[in-house]
Every structure is written in structure tokens, then in C-alpha cells.
Amino acid sequence: MEQKEKILQNKVLNDLRSFGKYCECFKLIKASDNGFGDIFFTFKTTGAVFLEMKKPSGKLEKLQEKKIRSLNECGTKAYPCYSWEDWMEIKKSLGIEKIMLSQ
């Protein structure tokens, strides 16, 4: 994993952990199937969410694209994330910032 990708991944994990008991999150090191995202998290209001972290100039592999599409079609949320701005948009679309405000 490239350094920029690892830094972004750690920032997102730290942000998720700031929600404390309202969020369960972890870094996926190796799932039994290839193509799953790098981060898994869940809130009561979001259900399961997978993030595939990429550096800003990165590109999803075909298997990753397929897995994201398949997860979304099955009702699980999965997103590619290329930057902190992407993460902010994902949080907004999931309503996560509202969870923090209601605590």
C-alpha cells in the first residue's frame, strides 16, 4: 500500500473511531475472498459499509469494481474513497455527521 493511501486510511479510521460506541469499525487485512474493501464499518443507521481506499491518482482493479457493484446490488453499501473530500461526501450521503450532532 502506498504511503498516501495508508495515511488516508488511518485518518478515516480515526474519524470513525471518534464516534465511540455508535460505530464499529476495523481495517480489513485479508478477507477470504479478494476484492473486499480496506475498511469495514457499521452504524445502527447505516448498516454494513465497505470502503476501498485509493490514492488520489489510483484506479480500482476490475475485481474491486465488481465487488463494489455486487455489494451495492445486494443491499450492502460499498464505496471507493480517493481523498478526504471523498470521505466527507460519503459521510454526508450516509448521514453520519448527523449522528455525531445528536450525541
Q: How far is CA 57 from the centre of its chain?
A: 18
Q: Which domain holds residue 14?
A: 3-101
Domains in the chain, number: 1
CATH label of the domain that carries residue 39 = 3.40.1350.10
> Burial, 58: exposed, middle or buried (Cβ in 10 Å; 0-12, 13-18, 19+)?
middle
Using one digit for the tens of pLDDT, what is the confidence trace for 57-79? 899 999 999 999 999 999 999 99
At 35 the pLDDT is 80
SS3 82: coil
Using one digit for the tens of pLDDT, what is the confidence trace for 17-55? 999 999 999 998 876 677 888 999 999 999 999 999 998
Residue type, 73: E
